[in-house]
Amino acid sequence: MPRSNTTFIDLRAKLATYMNEQELVFIERAYDRAFAAHEGVKRESGEPYIEHPLAVAMTLANFSLDSPTIAASLLHDVVEDTKVSLSSLEREFGKEVSCLVAGVTKLQRVRLKPSFSFLPSFFQKRAEEARNFERQVESLRKMLLAMTTDIRVIFIKLADRLHNMQTLDAVRPDKRARIAQETLEIYAPLANRLGMGSIKGQLEDLAFPYVYPHEYKDLHDRVGGKLTAREVYVLRFQKILTNFLQKEGVPVSSVHGRAKHLYSLWRKLQRYDGDLSKIYDLVAVRIIVPTVADCYQTLGLLHSRWNPLIGRIKDYIATPKPNGYQSLHTTIFGPDGEIVEIQIRTTEMHDLAERGIAAHWHYSESKHAKKVAERESRTKLEWLEELHKWQASLKDPNELKRILSLDFFSDQIFVFTPQGDVIKLPAKSTPIDFAYAIHSDVGNACTGAKIDGKIVPLDTKLDNGDIVEIMTAKNPQGPKRDWLTFVQTQKARSHIKVYHHLS
């Protein structure tokens, strides 16, 4: 798909539709800083690096996000990739922006291990590998949540991933599969959980050909011609439908046909034994009307003129989907007896379906200029609510119960080994707890520890996302007795006690 690159002029024009002059000047300053920091650096595609943060900022501008988020998105890679420090960002752009950048920088560590990317397809893996894979995906999802206290960090991360997927072709082949799989297993479900349908659909369709190349090609070949014929039909039906509803006095805002995303079509086909003729929403017709009453009136009018298919009427207005999605769905026998799926919703519902929690966030934001403290606490609250809903989709009911207790975020942390394995520990754990979690021999031989490459005292409290490295002696002197004063895990405690013959 050809892509036109975003320029700062495009971005500024978009932002000017909802920001004041002072905010625009602030954004321009952030852009200049990012431009200078990335100057002379090229992406793997050969484009100037600044194209990337600009594209990320543009995606977020389309969600009408606030000026700190846009500024942070422009600066999101400078700490990781250039010599700019977080403290200088804080000096120049304030604490809010530097915290957002720090959050995004830390999330760079949440990644699937490369070993998984050499496996051609999830379904072809052996059972053991599949279990390991599931476990790792689960840990990474949880880690992502535990590490994020401000949902705007996730917005930036999703926009970042979207542009990286759009430019994935230029990336080394061995990295592509891992990034695409991560997108499918971690980021698309997250976007879905947050109700951000447009991002979810794009991420899935971009990842699909890399993760399931054969399945993608097969579907693409089968659907291509059908899709065109279908679009022509829907275009014709759209006109008939619009005229009919207007004549009946429904103030229709818009009627349009939309082709189903390929990846979600593929998933759906698997439930219908691959029978394409059973998929009625290949191109669904979407009717947007002003009010909820108009939605139900439209549904009644449709059924009075075209027969509905029994059992296909769904009222997601009265009973929204778990991620907040609302609409009326029906399937009718349209002109020439063709079966058509129709979705009816208000403008606000449509906006929510496309933007999800980002739309909520923006609306509540623009209505009143609230104090930062108030906003932060609310943002965090909404965020937690969403996460709990997301976690609710996990399979294990016991795990779910434990997570739903609000302690989830305060009583455990996730850290990495230098090889990228995720280790789960109780909060306030120290490098000694980490060492014993790896193996009792490692604990007993531990002489020192590094966090993110820097040597730290052994009683240092670990933080989410830390990369922990344990140094061991060839002829260890055994665990120190005073470690008992700060270790958190039972495992560490009992090994130290055994060594010192304490009961």
Write down the least CB distance from residue 126 to Mn ion, Å.
34
Please name the residues in contact with 42: beta carbons below 8 A apart, sequence gap of 6 or more.
48, 49
> In this complex, which beta carbon is closest to Mn ion, that of residue 77 or of residue 150?
77
169 C-beta neighbours (distance < 10 Å), count: 11
CA pair distance 392, 385, nearest whole angstrom: 11
> In this complex, which beta carbon is closest to Mn ion, that of residue 52 or of residue 142?
52
CA pair distance 257, 241, nearest whole angstrom: 12
Q: Are 449 and 435 in contact (CB under 8 A)?
A: yes
Q: Which of residues 379-418 bind Mn ion (CB under 5 A)?
A: none
Nearest residue to Mn ion by CB is: 160
Please name the residues in contact with 433: beta carbons below 8 A apart, sequence gap of 6 or more.
425, 426, 462, 487, 488, 489, 491, 492
- The values of phi and psi at residue 366, to 5°, are -80, -20
Write down the least CB distance from residue 187 to Mn ion, Å.
13
> In this complex, which beta carbon is closest to Mn ion, that of residue 165 or of residue 284?
165
Write down the least CB distance from residue 277 to Mn ion, Å.
42
Active site residue 81: yes
Q: Looking up tokens 């890679």, which residue turns up?
A: 77
User: 3-state secondary structure string, 342-371?
Assistant: EEEEEHHHHHHHHHCHHHHHHHHHHHCCCC
Q: Are 316 and 264 in contact (CB under 8 A)?
A: no
What is the pattern of x (binds Mn ion, CB under 5 A) and - over residues 146-165? --------------x-----
Tokens of 385: 């609510």
CA pair distance 127, 109, nearest whole angstrom: 27
Write down the least CB distance from residue 176 to Mn ion, Å.
16
Q: Are 18 and 62 in contact (CB under 8 A)?
A: no
Catalytic residue among 23, 28, 47, 81: 81
Q: Are 208 and 259 in contact (CB under 8 A)?
A: no
Write down the least CB distance from residue 98 to Mn ion, Å.
17
Tokens of 193: 């959980």
Please name the residues in contact with 101: beta carbons below 8 A apart, sequence gap of 6 or more.
72, 75, 76, 78, 79, 86, 89
Query: Measured between alpha carbons, how far is residue 299 from residues 115, 209, 295, 351, 352 in Å?
Result: 51, 37, 6, 20, 21
Does 433 bind Mn ion (CB under 5 A)? Our answer is no
Catalytic residue among 32, 39, 44, 80: 80
Query: Measured between alpha carbons, how far is residue 94 from residues 30, 64, 67, 71, 381 in Å?
Result: 11, 21, 12, 11, 23
Q: Which of residues 59-118 bind Mn ion (CB under 5 A)?
A: 77
CA pair distance 158, 261, nearest whole angstrom: 18
Which active-site residues does the annotation give?
Answer: 80-81
Residues near Mn ion (CB under 5 A): 77, 160
